[in-house]
Structure 1
Amino acid sequence: MKKRTLSIVLACAMAAVSLAGCGGGSKETTAASTEGAAAEATKATEAAGGQTTLKWSVWDIGLTTYYQPLIDAFEKEHPDVKIEMVDLGSTDYQTVLATELTGSGSDFDVVTIKDVPGYMTLVNKGVLEPLDSYIQSSGVDLTQYKGLTEQITVDGKLYELPFRNDFWVLFYNKDIFDKAGVAYPTNDMTFEQYDALARSLAVETPGQEVYGAHYHTWRSAVQLFGVLDGKNTIIDGKYEFLKPYYEMVLGEQEDGVCQDYATLKTSGLHYSGAFAQGNVAMMNMGTWFISTLMDKVRTGEYTDCTNWGIAKYPHADGVEPGSTLATITTLGIPAKAPHKDLAWEFINFVCGKEGAEILASTGTIPAVMNSTVSDLVSSADGFPKDDGTSVEALNTSNLYLEMPVNAKNSEIETVLNEAHDAIMSGGMSVDEGIAQMDEKVSAILAQ
């Protein structure tokens, strides 16, 4: 009976397409008819099979430990739903996603949004569905996100919901400290103390190099040191406040305390690979690396950094310890999603308390944070607990979004990335790079 019903519906869909093609209507009408018929055929197929497939855009499936537990839990509660992940890669994820969503062939139901500039690009292109009506009908309490949703509301509408709220910490390799007879980092270090500590651990012996610090090639690994005082943001149009941090990192680079930026850029060395080599004493990176590190150590893939810990971010004089940068990862529904209502059910699950506890059990920091969730993170198998810093490092004092929402986010991001690359590779002096950022970003903001 199911096969007969499906055949009839598919035949009708094909007939509709044929009629649309033979009529005297416009190309738009023909396309709409074709798309509608195809959608009906898809729905009939799913109804006949008794299961609906939701397509979810992600990156780094092989490096991310929480995707499958979230899917397993949701599918257990919804046996008639199958979640299909599509990995778009991490390097150009937002660019690829924007291209997919603005094209005619995309059929994603749920999309992961990596950063604020990427979010604003999608909002400006009109390819995301506003979530406000879903949030209201489901009675979602937005206060559980502690103000994050207010920071990503655009013209009174919310197009994404956070499920992760990562923040930057200092990862460190205890074996390097132990071998050097140097005390571990503390949860209250100024940048001057941090720089001195990194220099005390560097070893330049060929073939046995030890780097006191490591800075990934992202501009955020250096520039965001400057916004921890809460007085500046990365979209102000004035960037003199970045100078001391560029000078510190470039000084370390020149003295062999950290690896050369140009070499890292050319080689494409991933930050996880750098830390896994076992010759990096400290690395500033987001808490998203915690779950990956625990998993790779547990499975035996990482053997040279098994004895690790985290500490709170270093801070400028007069800044409260525990002040750090937040970067949220969110979920949204494409405007052309085939199954919007079901997609919302998945988003509400992942971004709510149930999803938060699943994320926390893998060592991942969720957007919904409470005492239960915090305990789950620190009690996860492989999380360091006996070093005096790691558990406390999960408690933050001030969180600043890496880049606040602005309609010109993407344009500003491009300028900042170009200047960062030029400064770090030696193509420009710090003063020249700052002058370029000042001039170009101010021009963008004035448009």
Structure 2
Amino acid sequence: MRSMRRLVLMGSISVIVICGCNGNRQSATTDGALQQAEKMPEATKDPIELVVYYPFGDDSPDSFQKNYWQIVQKKYPNFHVKWVNTKTLTMNDLAATQTAVDIIFSNANHAAQLADFRYVSDMNELIQKYKFDLGRIDPTAIDIIKKASNGMLTALPIYINYNLMFYNKDLFDKFGVSYPVDGMTWDDTYSLAKKLTRYDNGIQYVGFSYHFLNGNMLWLNSYGQEEMDSKTKKVTFDSGRWPDIMRNFLRFFEIPGHEFLIGNASLNGFAKEQRIAMQITYSNRVIGNPDQVPPNWDIVSHPVYEDLKGVGSGIEPLYFYLSSVSKHKNEAFLAITALLEDEAQKMLAQRGFYPAVKIPDLKSAYSQVIGLKGKNVEAMFVNQFAQAVTMSQDVLAIRPSLSGAATNVMTGKKDVNTALREAAVEVNKKLQERIASGLSN
């Protein structure tokens, strides 16, 4: 059965228990983010528990409290957080056994699985009930979750991961190269990378690195190029924009002296070793985290394609899902939307997160982020987000093959056409097997 497919989640898992009062709170007026259609019953003093599934076991209780539930408690002081670390509880166990939780915190990668298990609820009824203004939320973030959840709105985004280009000013000064600027094309970026990739005094310097090269550069591509045609159930690897996307990045690896640096190798090369001149990564990974950048750094907008100016990368929102087995859906919804009020989103922005809603004075909020004083904050507002791509069960199943093809190309093992053609043959066969076994969605 499709609904019994296993959900795969890497890393340790945590559950948070939030204690509060029984019943719904009396209606309150907020800044347009949460307006109740009717007065809610008086809150009682009887305690309730809101259980939040939080799949980031490497995060600390203090960090979670500071970043999220401290904000919730500002509006609902009767909600208290109790951290319960349960490394043995996987997301598959959670959904397959219909474990009683109220809120699930994750990106959109698990939306299709959760929807297939019928473990999440469509929020539209509660949105209407409380007159929540959905128009305030970034439309791309809403489009992503709907595409992944069979058209349902099963979650609301709390913040957005968005790619920017960070650079080491000292390396540009060292080699007498002009700093990058906002609005640069990939051709401009390539020209700078060639000038900065060099061997000097026993050190190999690399002009450009993409932190999540064989991941984000694919499914967060600027063209919104889908990985699969949902109608024909065939991949698009060897057609559409994929060959062009691959060749765009391949040329960087063909620069003499360039190295295949991704993941931690990219982060270390940029921040600790200080031998990478430009690096693309999520804004919130770096902003407010001085150990993730060299001492003398700045930012510019994500490079754009010549035929698609003004469009940066795609986005990866982080969502709070509403569980279908929750016994406190109203309270859970109120807790989620408390994080989407203007003041709450400003607080998140001041901690380096990119807001999920359109809030006034966002640039002012960023000016208060530790480490952003004197930095090019304008870079965050130059490009529009790329079109959302679909994240169905089928798409998630074939992504490793596309990622593998990209790695083979960038490391010189295969040419672009061969890598994509072979990956397409392999994955189309896999998709037919999924259809035959009833796993395809």
Provide the TM-score with structure 2 as the length reference: 0.74
1:393 CA drift (Å): 1.2
| Partners of 2:21 and 2:47 within 8 A in 1 | no
Tell me the equivalent position of 1:15.
none
Is 1:283 matched up with 2:279? yes
| C-alpha distance in structure 2 between counterparts of 1:75 and 1:259, whole Å | 47
1:228 to 210, 213, 222: 222
| C-alpha distance in structure 1 between counterparts of 2:353 and 2:337, whole Å | 18
1:381 to 357, 361, 370: 370
1:371 to 331, 352, 360: 360
Tell me the equivalent position of 2:106.
113
Identity percentage of aligned residues: 20
Tell me the equivalent position of 2:395.
409
Q: Which moved more, 1:343-352 or 1:333-342?
A: 333-342
Q: 1:81 to 1:371 in 2, by over 3 A?
A: closer
Q: Deviation per CA, 1:330-352: give whole Å up to 9, x if none.
A: 11023334543332222111233
Tell me the equivalent position of 2:333.
344
Tell me the equivalent position of 2:81.
83
1:205 CA drift (Å): 4.0
1:143 to 129, 135, 145: 135
Q: Which moved more, 1:130-139 or 1:372-381?
A: 372-381
Tell me, what secondary structure is at the counterpart of 2:280? strand
Question: In angstroms, what is the RMSD of aligned CA positions?
Answer: 3.6
| C-alpha distance in structure 2 between counterparts of 1:202 and 1:402, whole Å | 33
| C-alpha distance in structure 1 between counterparts of 2:174 and 2:309, whole Å | 31
Is 1:175 matched up with 2:175? no
1:307 to 292, 296, 317: 296
Q: Deviation per CA, 1:270-318: give whole Å up to 9, x if none.
A: 6543432122211111222243xx2x32xxx46x612221111112223
Tell me, what secondary structure is at the counterpart of 1:213? strand
Tell me the equivalent position of 2:126.
134
1:322 CA drift (Å): 4.6
Tell me, what secondary structure is at the counterpart of 1:61? coil
Count of paired positions: 383
Is 1:54 matched up with 2:47? no
| Partners of 1:163 and 1:366 within 8 A in 2 | yes
| C-alpha distance in structure 2 between counterparts of 1:44 and 1:376, whole Å | 33
Tell me the equivalent position of 2:252.
252
| C-alpha distance in structure 2 between counterparts of 1:83 and 1:199, whole Å | 51
| C-alpha distance in structure 2 between counterparts of 1:440 and 1:279, whole Å | 38
| Partners of 2:342 and 2:359 within 8 A in 1 | no
| C-alpha distance in structure 2 between counterparts of 1:307 and 1:138, whole Å | 47
Q: Which moved more, 1:80-89 or 1:370-379?
A: 80-89
| C-alpha distance in structure 1 between counterparts of 2:255 and 2:62, whole Å | 35
Structure showing greater radius of gyration is 1
Q: Deviation per CA, 1:220-260: give whole Å up to 9, x if none.
A: 343358x4246x33434323423344334344335455432
Q: Extract unaligned runs of 5+ from structure 2.
A: 1-18, 23-43, 230-234, 436-441
Q: 1:150 to 1:246 in 2, by over 3 A?
A: closer
| Partners of 1:174 and 1:309 within 8 A in 2 | yes
Q: 1:126 to 1:160 in 2, by over 3 A?
A: same
| C-alpha distance in structure 2 between counterparts of 1:64 and 1:180, whole Å | 43
Tell me, what secondary structure is at the counterpart of 1:214? strand
Q: 1:121 to 1:51 in 2, by over 3 A?
A: closer
| C-alpha distance in structure 1 between counterparts of 2:323 and 2:91, whole Å | 10
Provide the TM-score with structure 1 as the length reference: 0.73
Q: Deviation per CA, 1:340-388: give whole Å up to 9, x if none.
A: 33322221112333331121111210110233234212442311535xx
Alignment of 1:160-239 (within 5 A): 160-205=155-200, 207-223=202-218, 227-229=221-223, 232-236=225-229, 237-239=235-237
Tell me, what secondary structure is at the counterpart of 2:206? coil
| C-alpha distance in structure 2 between counterparts of 1:415 and 1:86, whole Å | 36
| C-alpha distance in structure 1 between counterparts of 2:252 and 2:320, whole Å | 38
Q: 1:407 to 1:55 in 2, by over 3 A?
A: closer
Tell me, what secondary structure is at the counterpart of 1:249? helix
Question: Which amino acid in 2 is paired with 1:228?
Answer: S
Tell me the equivalent position of 1:321.
310
Q: Which moved more, 1:243-252 or 1:151-160?
A: 243-252
| C-alpha distance in structure 2 between counterparts of 1:321 and 1:43, whole Å | 46
| C-alpha distance in structure 2 between counterparts of 1:234 and 1:76, whole Å | 42
1:62 CA drift (Å): 5.6
| C-alpha distance in structure 1 between counterparts of 2:169 and 2:337, whole Å | 39
| Partners of 1:65 and 1:362 within 8 A in 2 | no
Q: Deviation per CA, 1:155-207: give whole Å up to 9, x if none.
A: 44211111112322111111211222211111122212211101211232475
Is 1:122 matched up with 2:114? yes
Q: 1:140 to 1:367 in 2, by over 3 A?
A: same
1:440 CA drift (Å): 5.0
| C-alpha distance in structure 2 between counterparts of 1:98 and 1:233, whole Å | 26
| C-alpha distance in structure 2 between counterparts of 1:63 and 1:279, whole Å | 35
| C-alpha distance in structure 2 between counterparts of 1:183 and 1:67, whole Å | 42
1:327 CA drift (Å): 1.9
Tell me, what secondary structure is at the counterpart of 1:212? strand
Is 1:243 matched up with 2:243? yes
Q: 1:260 to 1:324 in 2, by over 3 A?
A: closer
1:397 CA drift (Å): 3.9
Q: Deviation per CA, 1:72-109: give whole Å up to 9, x if none.
A: 122243333223456799xxxxx985324234384543
| Partners of 1:199 and 1:257 within 8 A in 2 | no
Question: Which amino acid in 1 is paired with 2:329?
Answer: K
1:72 to 63, 70, 78: 70
Q: Extract unaligned runs of 5+ from structure 1.
A: 1-41, 90-94
Q: 1:279 to 1:132 in 2, by over 3 A?
A: same
2:422 to 413, 424, 436: 436
| C-alpha distance in structure 1 between counterparts of 2:242 and 2:328, whole Å | 45
| C-alpha distance in structure 2 between counterparts of 1:61 and 1:49, whole Å | 30
Tell me the equivalent position of 2:232.
none
Q: 1:317 to 1:405 in 2, by over 3 A?
A: same
Tell me the equivalent position of 2:145.
152
Question: Which amino acid in 2 is paired with 1:393?
Answer: A
